Structure 1
């Protein structure tokens, strides 16, 4: 799918000798999108009434549903041409995948990946300034790395992906994703995972529509909070880095209670934040990180997820959002609500592997 209607029109003229304006391409795209939205909504309503049958006859072995939110630029409607009252809004995206993976009797990777012990990678991964990364400014020594047995290639591999993308609220989004999972016969799978990051509405969707799935909070987001807490606790670069490594390894190995105990001790040492504290206050940063882990501790049983061959990151949906953004974000692109919903439906169909546009 091309990034603009005008470029699509030029491509049609060049490759198919079809003379059409960008505006006409836009109208046709929105018409197709409206049909897709109507079909999708009918499927969700049938699911709500418990009258939706699976459209896929085979029974998948392993499945995952990953959800996340993106952002798109919008404009006020009914105010003429141009971007009136431009602002950013959230679109919600779900990636539903069938997988191939192997279950194991023991944790196939008890030690964290080497990249989680690479300072520059950790700084980029957690969106921290490179200039403030431990070891770059102060030259701190690396902590000893615990040797691990030969790594088993346990990560699940994607087979078939379908997508849901919408501008609607989380309640409506949950209905759409639940219906798509039902249509793909996900409920028959032997191993099922629901993966997301921290927002409460993700887990409200999981409890309402995917209660029988294993709930997994994205480990990369967890490590971001561990890194922030390690830095907020102060000390030398070496002390901060070693504190991060202990917390990261503890979370990776499912010893979250130990990580929280250390965070609580550090919070007691530096004090609770006052009510008027800034978001960047180290006491606020540490309290926020500790709260994130406490809220998600039940979804951080990573050794068990790896044993079951389930994903521990939301990387599939995050990659999908980038593919969605290729069409809906860009210079001078401002959508009205109906146009955004239609184009998101078309984009989701294009990015799905089931050829639903055929």
Structure 2
């Protein structure tokens, strides 16, 4: 295995913010996988995987340069680490221990994907960890008390770990100085063809229920609906076609598998397992280049701090938030 470090560029700054260098790391196995990550937003930039003819291609959506990642109009959170809480907090409010907290709003009345200056907008510190069979890039961030309205100073680590077998793991941990809420995820858009749209991809998700959303994609009190027979029924592998998806699928109890994606033409496959309660699944219909990637963001329930039925997202001093999601890329199958 090998790791290469470069400088991807310098941030433009803004206001009183100084320009900062952005680290780029590329980890490669002795086989057919190479992964590039940047310290800006702790972002997954590239995953090179071979097709059924042995030709490598990048299977995550990548923007042309650092300036594009900094430009909110061009960057729909592509590949970034989202936090302090991903997806949404309805009306930017939640109550913890009887105290109501008001978060910075960036989608009308709502707080979405960590707010206007979320973790995706920060330059993280970094370190490299190496073992005999795995190389990891670990990004580190301190989120101060009051950051985007959240209580407590939170220390966060986001690790990308590549095993010599080609297994790619996302690991997140966080600790806090005061009771708060935390929910982190990666927002990569996957395209196993390496180009074009995802319409011919085949998706399976081990989820029989979906959160009911209103017209603003806010959960309706935590109500769940069955997916059986509907457009979100991916319990059996199914071609995406033109189906528009922007929902949260609640995973079932059997965690031997959670999601699988494949591209029949290239033969590339991806299997995902996670310890999170569900996936935010988004078919990228509102990207600048629509449907050029499928987002499979393993995470807490959207608006979890306001939903009594949702698994807890509370983090207290002396405890550690932990999230682990694995991506495996079996050898490509079939012929082009």
TM-score (norm 2): 0.27
Query: Which structure dedicates a bigger proportion of its chain to helix?
Result: 1
Q: Which has the higher contact order (CA 8 A, sep 6+)?
A: 1
TM-score (norm 1): 0.26
Q: Which has the larger radius of gyration?
A: 1
Query: Which structure dedicates a bigger proportion of its chain to strand?
Result: 2
